[in-house]
Structure formats: C-alpha cells, structure tokens
Amino acid sequence: MTGLSLLFINSAKRASGGEYWMAQVGGEFVRRGHRVTLVCRPFRPWAEHARDLGVTVYEHGLRGDINMNAVVRLGLIMLRQRVELVCTVFEREARLAGMAKRFFPSVSLVQRKVVPRIKNRLQYRASYRYLVDKILASSHSIESQLTRYPWLSPGMVEVVPNGIDLTPFTSFNPSRHVAKRLGIPRGRVIVGSVADLVPSKGHEMLLDSLPKLLLLAPQVHLLLVGEGLMRRRLERKSEEMGLADRVTFAGFRRDIPDVLRNVDVFLLPSRSEGASLAVLEAMAAARPVVVSDVGGNSELVIHGINGFLFPLDDPLMMIQHVALLAANPRLRKRMGTEGRRWAEREFTLDKMIDKVETIFLSTVEGKRKGRGLRHPQ
C-alpha cells in the first residue's frame, strides 16, 4: 500500500505531552510519504509545530458531543483530503468523527488512550462497538484495564509505547545556565519536575514532603517546570511554608533539553499516569528518575537500575530515594547512563512510528477487504 491520507483530531484546550505527540507523529508520517491533516482548536501552540513539520492544519472549535456543524465540517475535510484513517484522543472527538465517517464507510477510526478511562455507559459502548476500529494504548497497564470491559472486541487494543526523538538530548554535559537565569544559587542539588500543575501530578504532596527532604538533604532545590490551574495555589503554599527560597516555578518552557541538563534528579510523584513522555525525556537526558509506581511508570523505570519507584501512599520512601541520589553523584551518573541506554533500546521515535504505521496500514487494509469498498475519489 502506498502513502495514507490521515486525519488527526485533537480538541485539547491546553498543551501537554499528548498534543505534541500528535504533532510529532504527524510530522514523521509526512516524512515517510503519507499525507496528514490535523484538526484542533484555534491558536494552539502544537498546531504551529505541526505546520512546521509539513502537516496541514484546520482550526475549529469541535465543541459538544452532538454538534452537527462539527460533524459536517469533519465530513467535508474527510472528502477534501480523501481521508482513509482518523486518529482521535478524546471520546467526543471519536463520536463526532464517527458520525462524519458514516458517509465514508471505508474510513477507519483509531482512538489513542493515554489514560484507561472509559465509562460503562450506553454512549461509550455504542462508540467502541460501532465507530472505533482500534485503540492505541500507550502502556500495558492501560491495556490491562481497558480489556476488562467485555464489550470491547478481542484484539481491539494495541499497545504502542511512547517514543521520543533522542537527538536533542544527546549532550549529557551538565550546565547551569538555565539555573543561573532562574536565580537558583550555585551548589544546590536541583530536583526537577516537568509536568502540568494539576492535581493529578502530585505537586501538593511534593511540597508537603519538602521540609523532611531538606532535613536529609539540605542542599536540595526544587525546580517545577510547567503551567496549570494550581500554579498560584502552589506558589502561595510554598511561601506559607517558608520554602520560597527552595522552590522555583519556571512556568511553561520550550527548552526542555536545556532544562534537564540543569537537573540532577528528575522527580514525578503523579497520582495517575499513562506512559509519561517527561520521564522518557529525563532518561534520554541521562538523568536518574524517581517516580510514583502508578500506571505505566513501572514499564519505563527499572527500580534500582535507572531510577527508583515508590508507592503512591509512601512519600517517605520518595524522600529517601531523592536524598540518596542527592548525596551520591556517582549513583546519579550511573543511573542516568542506564536510563539513556534503556531509552535508546526501547523508546526511540522511529521504533514507535514503525509500530503505529504498521497498525494504521493493517487497519485501513482490513477495513477495505472487510467491506469490499474503495474510498471515494
């Protein structure tokens, strides 16, 4: 089969790893000779990134579950671009695209799941029985939770672990130029976290644990990279706890490889997680990682080899792991090196794209053979 015509749909309001996943994957598919179109909300930063990579971008609101205006617009895009496969992220996108593609029975619909949430309701059962052809799960943990639903067709879920472009992270030499610009004093051991400032990422627990961590490792400085609804609350909390001189809020940044070169230990105490791109980036930058043992984190982190896992309800264990790494530069270097090797072996961008491409091609070919239909010319 020659190049496909793909339609990616993402109606997210703010940027996170999933949105840049779509832009990056879209660009890689363009590089491989496929035609890719992205539909997203107006003025999204990942849309510009996708355009730079050769993806055609349409900006629409896509509001509501039953929005016939959105259905018609998607149908027109499918016709104009001769779309063969649609890839969505959110449930409402799958329903809107599913209704639009009823006019094009040969079009396949793939849903990407980075969290295992599917509600056991009639509308979800109908969507996954009649509209969605495949589910891409970013971890085996998500797959195991999704396959508990007996109304999902056998073999519907395919696991595609995240992969990243390792090129921007090839320099492992530590640098403190970002830390200097952020006003972090020299001599501090920087414990960095890159994540949206939302409740599920566990930042409040992290701040609550910081006084005890400083007793064990007084040289630690916490660097929080990311934006979100909780930023002001977290800033006030750090001030009320007398920790303002030990916590730096760096906001949203595009220079993550440079930021990670300034980090000594990467920490992510998420309450839930699919397969974190931030953890992969830290490993690619040869940084040791300390993460909560939730979701797909245990598929990324080999405990005691490239980092540490800790139980979500045991912040003391988290503190002990971070303190151990803060006091041992050689251990940090060894674990960081192992993390880089693990990323090079298992989580490259090319490896992920190869698998996604294989699934897309087989799904489209299976739909054509099963229905005996040709896409409208």
Residues 190 and 113 in one domain: no
Residues 312 and 366 in one domain: no
Q: Which long-range contacts (CB under 8 A, 24 or more apart) does 211-214 make?
A: 211/241, 211/243, 212/316, 212/319, 213/319, 213/322, 213/323, 214/246
Residues 233 and 96 in one domain: no
Q: What is the pLDDT of residues 26-35, one digit of tens each?
A: 999 999 999 9
For the chain, give the percent of residues with pLDDT over 70: 95
- Residue 371: pLDDT band by 50, 70, 90 thresholds? low
Domain that holds residue 138: 5-163+349-371
The pLDDT assigned to 43 comes to 82
Q: Which residues contact 216 (CB under 8 A, 6 or more apart)?
A: 319, 320, 323
The pLDDT assigned to 173 comes to 74
| Residue 377 counted as domain residue | no
Q: What is the pLDDT of residues 183-196, one digit of tens each?
A: 999 999 999 999 99
Residues 194 and 334 in one domain: yes
Between these two residues, 254 and 205, which has the higher pLDDT value? Answer: 205
| Residue 293 counted as domain residue | yes
Residues 13 and 158 in one domain: yes
Q: What is the pLDDT of residues 85-100, one digit of tens each?
A: 999 988 888 888 988 9
The pLDDT assigned to 64 comes to 64
Q: What is the pLDDT of residues 253-285, one digit of tens each?
A: 889 999 999 999 999 999 988 788 899 999 999
Residues 135 and 79 in one domain: yes
Residues 204 and 308 in one domain: yes
For the chain, what is the domain count?
2
Q: What is the token pair recorded at 51?
A: 């355009």
- Residue 207: pLDDT band by 50, 70, 90 thresholds? very high
The pLDDT assigned to 116 comes to 64
Q: Are 40 and 59 in contact (CB under 8 A)?
A: yes
The pLDDT assigned to 136 comes to 93
| Residue 190 counted as domain residue | yes
The pLDDT assigned to 372 comes to 44
SS3 287: coil
Looking at residue 88, which CATH number applies to its domain?
3.40.50.2000
| Residue 211 counted as domain residue | yes
Q: Are 197 and 234 in contact (CB under 8 A)?
A: yes
Q: Are 64 and 37 in contact (CB under 8 A)?
A: no
Q: Give me the residue label for tokens 């000594």.
A: 264
What average pLDDT does range 151-174 have in this prediction? Answer: 87
| Residue 19 counted as domain residue | yes
| Residue 325 counted as domain residue | yes
| Residue 376 counted as domain residue | no
The pLDDT assigned to 15 comes to 67
Residues 27 and 120 in one domain: yes
Q: Give me the residue label for tokens 């400085």.
A: 221
| Residue 193 counted as domain residue | yes
Residues 333 and 195 in one domain: yes
Q: What is the pLDDT of residues 104-142, one digit of tens each?
A: 889 999 999 877 667 667 777 777 788 889 999 989 988
The pLDDT assigned to 70 comes to 87
Residues 233 and 283 in one domain: yes
Q: Are 18 and 114 in contact (CB under 8 A)?
A: yes
Residues 292 and 204 in one domain: yes
Q: Which residues contact 152 (CB under 8 A, 6 or more apart)?
A: 128, 135, 146
Q: Residue 28 and residue 22: Cα distance in Å, rounded?
A: 10
> Of 297, 345, 254, nearest to 23 (Cα)?
254
Residues 179 and 327 in one domain: yes
What average pLDDT does range 62-72 have in this prediction? Answer: 78
Q: Are 66 and 20 in contact (CB under 8 A)?
A: no
> Of 214, 270, 268, nearest to 246 (Cα)?
214
Measured over the CA atoms of residue 46, residue 116, residue 279 and residue 182, the dihedral's sign is positive
